[in-house]
Amino acid sequence: MKTETASSSNKWKSHNLLQLEKKHVLVLAFPFSSHPGVLLNLVVKLAHAAPNVDFSFLSTQSTNQALFSNPEIPLNIRPFNISDGIPDGHVLPSDHPVERVNLFLKSSLSIFQKGIEIAVAETGHAATCVFNDAFVACAKQLAEELHVPWIPIWSPLSCALYAHMYTGQINEHFMDNVHNEKNTIDFISGLSSMRREDLPDAALSGSGEQLFFKTLHEMGKDITKATALVMNFYDELNPPEFSEDIKSKFRSVLNVGFFNLSLPLPPLPPSDTDQTGCLTWLDKQSSKSVVYLSFGNVVTPPNNEILAMADALEESGIPFLWSIKDNVKDMLPKGFLDRTSTQGKLVPWAPQTQILAHKSIAVFVTHCGCNSVFESLTNGVPLICRPFFGDHGMTGRMVQDVWKIGIIIEGRVFSKKGLLKSLNLILAQEEGKKLRENGLALKKIVEAAASSDGSATRDFKTLVQMIT
């Protein structure tokens, strides 16, 4: 360890002799799931706002190839490939991401040190800021070695951060109250609406055995030392007690709005430009009549839940648009596709932001991923939530009990009876009408926050000033 520290010290000494007049932001991505894309969306906005700043985007080759195939990315963002941490010859036992994540995290400090050395050498400019996905817990140490500001970004649900900041307290509370039926998190300011079952596994297992859980635990302990914390959120959506509490714990909290969206939303493109055929199909449906189902790129519901959803949709007779992977179609009931050919449309991928903006959509059945919920919220579309992992449970609780713009599926798993009941509530009951009204009210709130004199715009300008 001493040798590595000395090497790092010498490396950064030479770093400090490089040109300092050019601002050079090191962007450290967590190269899994939607994290790199969400981070890049924010960096693109910053690059447009600060054209004289260079951004070096450090991620794995596979994610960089996918992200930087877009020709519209500003020229002052440059990708640098880093190792994925998988040793040569190592055979992964399955496609499950946990081992990939753990292998990456195990070597993440040295991986990013090497990437930074290359980025600094090739740009010819010393780093002036470390800007990272908060899941890259080694960023604090890297910023300290470079003697530059450290600005982590938190892309999941804002209050989910507290699940990792207070992991020890949460575990201690529930161990001391193991026989107490009360399972609310009202002992932590800002989480009073949450319940034990809403929390991520990483928060309920303490530091746990998995390196990923340990990393999140360490991140939660260190993150308050950051120069600033950037949130993929609007402060107006936070419970007031959470907003007040988190601002008291950080030097600066910047709620710059949803990274993946620009408000107000642009008008829908001509339907015939959508190669999936979704918009053309939706044009033929009645206003607020269609159920849209999608569970993102990572989640695949269990076979029994796929069957339950299919049975419920068929019995309901409600028009539906289902984004379902081709390999998952094999799980559908025999004859389902033929029997529902005039009722629904199934596609392997759907242009979700455009679909949720279409007037025909009545409700969104979702896994509660943040990006999906944010896209639905900005269109005022009610949600039926089936949480799976991570911050899904906390997001679902916000949807149902704080924002009141949707519901969590009965029993937190899909059953034919439960989905039919949920669809009836939202599409035919007075409560469903109220959920839609709440959604439209929230849409107006975030649009105001995103306006030229709104809170998110002010926080974004502050962030631009910090990096320039």
CA 245, 249, 254, 258 torsion-angle sign? negative
Give the chain's end-to-end CA distance (angstroms, integer): 34
pLDDT < 70 positions in the chain: 1-20, 94-96, 177-182, 206-209
Check residue 201 and give its pLDDT.
Answer: 87
Query: Long-range contacts: 287-290, Cβ < 8 Å, 24+?
Result: 287/359, 287/360, 288/359, 288/360, 288/361, 288/362, 289/318, 289/319, 289/360, 289/362, 290/318, 290/319, 290/320, 290/321, 290/360, 290/361, 290/362
Q: Say what percent of the chain tops pLDDT 70.
A: 93
Q: What are phi and psi of 244, to 5 degrees?
A: -65, -40
Provide the CATH number for the domain formed by 2-155+226-262+451-467 in this structure.
3.40.50.2000
Beta bridge partners of 146: none
Q: State how far the Cα of 23 lies from the Cα of 123, in Å rounded to an integer.
A: 11
pLDDT value at residue 297:
87
pLDDT at 180: 60
Residue type, 359: K
Q: What is the pLDDT of residue 4?
A: 39
- Homologous superfamily (CATH) of 271-448 is Glycogen Phosphorylase B; (3.40.50.2000)
Catalytic residue at 330? no
Please count the helices (runs of H) and the strands (runs of E) in the chain: 20, 13
What confidence score (pLDDT) does residue 16 get? 55
Structural domain boundaries in the chain: 2-155+226-262+451-467, 271-448
Residues 6+ apart with CB under 8 A from 24: 53, 54, 56, 120, 123, 125, 126, 127, 128, 129
> In 50-198, which ranges are continuous DSSP H helix?
61-67, 97-106, 108-123, 139-146, 160-165, 167-176
**pLDDT at position 337:** 97
Given this model, what pLDDT does residue 178 score? 61
Active-site entry in 54, 133, 235, 391:
133
Which structure tokens are listed for 149? 């500001």
**267 in the Ramachandran plot: left (φ > 0), alpha (ψ -120 to 50) or beta?**
beta
Q: Which residues does 74 contact at the CB level (< 8 Å), separation at least 6?
A: 44, 47, 48, 51
Q: How far out from the chain centre does Cα 5 lie?
A: 34
Task: Give residue 172's pLDDT.
Answer: 87
pLDDT at 95: 62
CA 444 to chain centre: 22
* 311 in active site: no
How many residues can be counted in the chain?
A: 468
Structure tokens at 417: 């009876």
Q: What is the pTM of this model?
A: 0.92
Whole-angstrom CA distances from 234 to 18, 110, 253, 374, 384 are 38, 35, 11, 10, 22
Q: How far is CA 76 from CA 48, 160, 195, 328, in A?
A: 9, 32, 44, 40
**pLDDT tens-place string over residues 366-420:** 999 999 999 999 999 999 999 999 999 999 999 999 999 999 999 999 999 999 9
Q: Do 2-155+226-262+451-467 and 271-448 agree at the fold level? A: yes
Q: Could you say which of 15, 24, 35, 217 is catalytic?
A: 35
Q: For residue 192, what are its two tokens? A: 């009073």
| Whole-angstrom distance, CA of residue 105 vs CA of residue 217 | 13
